[in-house]
Structure 1
Amino acid sequence: MAKRKENRYQRILGWVFEQHYREGDQSVEWIRDELDQGADALGVERVKNLGDLIYSFRYRYELPAVILDAAPEGMQWVIRGAGTAKYRLDLIPAQVRIRPNPALTVTKIPDATPEIIAASALGDEQALLALVRYNRLIDIFLGVASYSLQNHLRTTAKGIGQVEVDEIYVAVDRHGRQFILPVQAKGGTDEIGITQTEQDIAACSEKWPTMVCRPISVQFGEDGRIAVFELVVQDDQVRVRREAHYKLVPARDISAADLESYGLDAGADAP
């Protein structure tokens, strides 16, 4: 079988990996500048936005063949931050792919999005975050009073380096418990990965140590639905603690039958 041709990002990261990896290694550390060195050594154009290269391998692209081939059966490599401009490829148990469950019911929510926002939305992650914010989907999903604290937070975390969180919410429940909610938005074919979830937890635990951290992910799903996940890292795996699907519709499109079914769902959750 012919070997699949790799793109520029894959060739560069594969070159960096080969400079450090020795058979049996569980971790491979490298620095950002080596990506430029790899491009020069391979005779290809340097990557202008090195952050995009890292992001792409975390959520979009398959890792280079030389890295995939170095993973034993049942294991996979992930890219983690290891300090300022430093990264580390770690071997961890193969991750379960987290995608919206097509078997879940969809809850219709009266669309409270201002018309000017709806008309201007481009369908990307920032538009998705706006829909979640204006329609109070975090409140509805978790049963708390939540407030958007900061959008597109760039900060650092010890042992990781730079961390970027799509949006941060603070929340309080009926018992007075306070929560910090890092929200990651995924659009298109991007998938939920362990590294961003770990980074979100690390940054929030460091910056808001007295608040309970509950990582959230939101995604566009089929038929215009919005899938919302509460995540947890367990045994080196990202797991779904809960998942719900919502569809924003005009109030007139929510029927009596819909409302009756939601009442049944609420009854099933009651103690």
Structure 2
Amino acid sequence: MKLDAVTTEYRGHARDLGRHAAQSQDIELVVALGGDGTVNEVVNGLLHDGPDPGRLPRLAVVPGGSTNVFARALGLPNDAVEATGALLDALREGRERTVGLGLTSGTPGSEDESVPSRWFTFNAGLGFDAGVVGRVEQQRERGKKSTHALYVRQVVRQLLGEPHRRHGTISLERDGEELASDLVLSIVSNTAPWTFLGNRPMYASPKASFDTGLDVFGLSRLSTASVARYGTQLLTSSPERGPRGRHAVSLHDLTEFTLHSKVPLPLQMDGDHLGLRTSVTFTGVRRALRVIV
């Protein structure tokens, strides 16, 4: 194969490169070496004009970040050299998979109506978890290294500063029907696991899959007792069993729904903090992109 290597130089550069590849007539494969944020940019570039798996270049991911959820969810090793070997074997053998992705957009009639659409590969969140992501990004901008210990510290700080921990402001609606309300935390999953703590997978929505629509896990209370209960359940979760309880909401295989909030809340996608929103519409798009596995 003929390989052109390009180093990204600014935020959004990987998206621009992905868009160029999608519009090119002679690029068959895009390899993203980096973390989940880099992969997200590449995917948004490839799908700038919408999904078309038969026409668009295929995507391969070499993990180069701190967590690499998307690559690991595809079954790739978390080591860059080992993953490269696995991808080369897959290319020789012609192994690929067409995966579904999540798409967010501004909700018609809301103040966020004009917000551009954006794709995500493994998860998104409105509320508490997005606030944690924002805190981690602030620490990284100050020179702190992105580690799992840093995430744990920011979870504690976000919890202590959460003004709506006992009565949330988020509601989930589908086709005009309210499926859940008063949520403090809302995690949208496109695959399982939700994330990793070191080498430990954590399953917020164990049934989530690249082959189905989107899953939602929500919590309506984050009291000290609730955090201890659901935190322990997440740490001990498995592909067969996720968090459960009277303050938990679990929904599976949704095609389209909207999260509304009474107050502006932080939004994250694939671990990237995207600012404050009051309303976000989510769509699960099946068979959106071909990936090498």
Whether the TM-score (by the shorter chain) exceeds 0.5 is: no
For normalisation by structure 2, the TM-score amounts to: 0.28
Larger Rg: 1
Higher helix share: 1
Q: Which has the higher contact order (CA 8 A, sep 6+)?
A: 2
For normalisation by structure 1, the TM-score amounts to: 0.29
